[in-house]
Chains A and B, each alone.
Chain A
Amino acid sequence: AQKVTQAQTEISVVEKEDVTLDCVYETRDTTYYLFWYKQPPSGELVFLIRRNSFDEQNEISGRYSWNFQKSTSSFNFTITASQVVDSAVYFCARLTGANNLFFGTGTRLTVIP
């Protein structure tokens, strides 16, 4: 099966600590896209980032950074100097060549003040 695996179900960190959320995917597609979404307690899924399979360049956006490695089929997400507002469920997702978007089971991050 072409799955997206987020092995960390829950993570708790103290405010200002760095935290990395893991994502491993399976695919038979040569062209695909990977995403991270944030789901705060309000429930709405918020898009964070998209990477395509041909671009392995890491990306940084403020306190967020993403590490995409095709060799290990991983697309990990790091939050630097975490804040209480970062507390949410984070989902990794993959868009297939057929344009279907599949999600992992999510990682619940709790940032303790």
Chain B
Amino acid sequence: EAGVVQSPRYKIIEKKQPVAFWCNPISGHNTLYWYLQNLGQGPELLIRYENEEAVDDSQLPKDRFSAERLKGVDSTLKIQPAELGDSAVYLCASSPDRGTEAFFGQGTRLTVV
């Protein structure tokens, strides 16, 4: 069974440019998470989806970040415009049900220059 797939693996953009990250969760997993991980830190939750509904986006900086999960499967996280401080690894994870472990993708390493 395929794991959580994220693309791209690496992205370098200039500040003020837009960027998008894509995540394909494990088939059948209803819960999808987006996390941000800064160097030397633990993952920080940005948004959680239950199927296609964003049930917790309280940590998402909505002035520049947006996310969607159309049809409750794939998800896209967008930043517009990117700032230097957005350089980090963006992780996507999915879990099959409440109370179960989340499985993570390899992440997208974003560098804003």
Contacts and interface: CB of A to CB of B under 8 A. Distances in A.
Interface size class of B (residues with CB under 8 A): 20 to 34
Given A50-B100, A98-B56, A44 B42 contact: no
Contacts of A95: 99
B65 interface: no
Interface size class of A (residues with CB under 8 A): 20 to 34
Nearest to B4: A44
Interface in B30-85: 31, 33, 40-45, 48, 50, 55-56
Interface string A29-53: 0000101010000111111001010
Classify the interface of chain A: helix, strand, loop or mixed. strand
Contacts of B98: 99
B89 A35 contact: no
A100 B50 contact: no
Contacts, number: 51
A105 B45 CA distance: 13
Nearest to B100: A50
Nearest to A101: B102
Contacts of B99: 33, 52, 95, 99
A103 B48 contact: no
Given A100-B48, A104-B42, A106-B41, A43 B101 contact: no
Interface of A: 4, 33, 35, 37, 42-47, 50, 52, 91, 95, 98-106
Interface of B: 31, 33, 40-45, 48, 50, 55-56, 89, 91, 93, 98-107, 109
